[in-house]
Amino acid sequence: MSIPATLYWSGEADGHLRLIDQTLLPNALVEMECHDVPTVFEAIRSLRVRGAPAIGIAAAYGLCLAAQQATDASSLRTAVAAAAEHLATSRPTAVNLFWALERMRAWLDEQPADLTVDDLRSALLTEAQTIHDEDRRMCRAIGRRGAPLLAHVQGVLTHCNAGGLATSEYGTALAVIYTAHESGQSLHVYVDETRPLLQGARLTAWELQQHGIHATLICDSMAAHVMQAGRVQAVVVGADRIAANGDVANKIGTYGVALAAAAHGIPFYVAAPSSTFDLALASGQDIPIEQRAAEEITEPFGTRIAPTKINVYNPAFDVTPAEYIAAIICEQGVIQPVTAASIRALLTH
């Protein structure tokens, strides 16, 4: 069984964006409507929509909403440029956000000056929908490319959520697992809860249940133990940004999982579309790391669990060096070994 669409555009150029409010899962499956750019910004910032590919898609549709407010072609171009700059400040780490916004802006710049405002609105929507459709195809391709890596695996561990909720519909890391499952392979997935916002417990565990895949939820601190116990033979995670040398930024806690996997001789795989690579950054040291609110740790889901006025450090992501990554799976193929040369060879061929 597939889960509902993570996000989609409803109507024609004068329509609106609808998306699953992921902050309410798994207790309630609720769609929210976005009729303007501030609503899209808030949805991205507050993690109502999350996951690098899904953020990029939402931002592209956000520019379509900005175009609705224009009265002529000139004001449309101005409104879209302003909206792109604003949406780019919503979250700093996921490169798909900036990739999608730049692609939409570059496309708009290439359009003839004599197009009407209605023509531009329709064309903007078409480009956003193209980005959306491309992500669907990329996710399916990632699944096909990566599934053979799990051919002799019984237990696989994943961290955070890199499934349909983080993308257009099928996921990146979970696409590999879904494809293996659909081919008849019996897998048992160990799901890190992923503190402090529990995307693994709330989202990945829910997704795997919807797909009928055997899953066991564990605390983040149990990952090394289940590896030591022989329950896991592979790790598959997603990514929010990948530097030119193969260093990967992903949800906080990923680096620790990679270290534990290395200590136990377990392959650590990263699954991500080519749009997640940022070849302008030489290494992971150059990746900006988002700092989140202290309340996410001291008052998770509205309940205070720490003393007041305690100092809090809350980075949303960490960086896993390429040396700990057995392979990166993208829609164009499997990058193995993970080096700057092998990345460029695949992405630029």
Q: What is the pLDDT of residues 279-321, one digit of tens each?
A: 999 999 999 999 999 999 999 999 999 999 999 999 999 999 9
Give the CA dihedral 329, 330, 334, 339, nearest 10 degrees. Answer: -90
307 and 161 co-located in one domain: yes
**Per the structure block, which two tokens stand in for 107?**
């496309």
Dihedral of alpha carbons 273, 95, 319, 293, sign: negative
pLDDT (tens digit per residue) in 90-106: 999 989 999 999 999 99
The predicted model gives 135-162 an average pLDDT of 97
Are 285 and 240 found together in one domain?
Answer: yes
Q: Is residue 1 part of a domain?
A: no
In our burial notation (b when 16+ CB lie closer than 10 A, e otherwise), range 297-326 reads: bbeeeeeeeeeeeeeeeeebbbbbbbebbb
Residues 255 and 270 in one domain: yes
Question: At how many degrees (to 10) do helices 73-87 and 95-109 cross?
Answer: 170
Q: Is the model's pLDDT at 144 over the cut of 80?
A: yes
Q: Does 108 lie in the same domain as 121?
A: yes
In Å, how far from its chain's centre is CA 178? 16
Task: Report which of 74, 82, 167 is spatially closest to residue 120, judged by C-alpha positions.
Answer: 74
User: Is residue 3 scored above 90 in pLDDT?
Assistant: no
The verdict on residue 25 lying in a domain is yes
* Residue 36 belongs to domain spanning: 7-140
Among 140, 164, 194, which residue terminates a domain?
140
This model's pTM is above 0.85? yes
How does residue 41 score in pLDDT terms, banded at 50, 70 and 90? very high
pLDDT at 2: 54
Instruction: Give dist(CA 139, CA 330) in Å, integer.
Output: 8
Residues 157, 55, single domain; the answer is: no
How many domains does one find in the chain? 2
Same domain, 200 and 268: yes
- DSSP codes of every residue in 282-319: SSGGGS--PBPPTHHHHSGGG---S-TT-----BSEEE
- What pLDDT was estimated at residue 113? 87
User: Quick check: is 2 in a domain?
Assistant: no
Count of helix runs (H) and strand runs (E) in the chain: 12, 14
Domain closes at, from 98, 117, 140 = 140
Are 199 and 63 contained in the same domain? no
Task: Please confirm, yes or no, whether 240 is among the known catalytic residues.
Answer: yes
Write the CATH number for 46. 1.20.120.420
**85 and 189 both lie in a single domain:** no
Same domain, 25 and 92: yes
Both 47 and 90 in one domain: the answer is yes
Is residue 36 assigned to a domain?
A: yes
321 lies in a domain? Answer: yes
156: pLDDT strictly greater than 70: yes
Which one from 192, 220, 240, 247 is the annotated catalytic residue? 240
Residues forming a β-bridge with 333? 330
Region 108-128 average pLDDT: 94
Say how many CA atoms lie within 13 Å of 175 toward its Cβ.
30
Share the mean pLDDT of the chain.
96
Q: Would you say how long the chain is, in residues?
A: 349
The SS3 call for residue 150 is: helix
- Distances, alpha carbon 62 to alpha carbons 9, 45, 180, 226, in Å: 10, 13, 34, 42
Of 140, 169, 204, the position where a domain reaches its end is 140
% of the chain surpassing 70 pLDDT? 99
- 324 and 181 fall within a common domain: yes
Q: What CATH number should be reported for the domain holding residue 339?
A: 3.40.50.10470
What gap in Å lies between CA 144 and CA 184, rounded to an integer? 14
Query: Has residue 301 been placed in a domain?
Result: yes
What pLDDT sits at residue 50? 96
Cβ count within 10 A of residue 134: 16
The per-residue pLDDT for range 197-210, each reduced to its tens digit, is 999 999 999 999 99
On whether residue 92 sits in a domain, the answer given is yes
pLDDT band at 184 (very low <50, low <70, confident <90, very high): very high
Tell me what the mean pLDDT of segment 178-182 comes to: 96
Give yes or no: residues 196 and 91 share one domain: no
Whether residue 312 lies inside any domain: the answer is yes
* pLDDT for res 40: 98
Q: Pairing relation of β-strands 188-192 and 155-158?
A: parallel
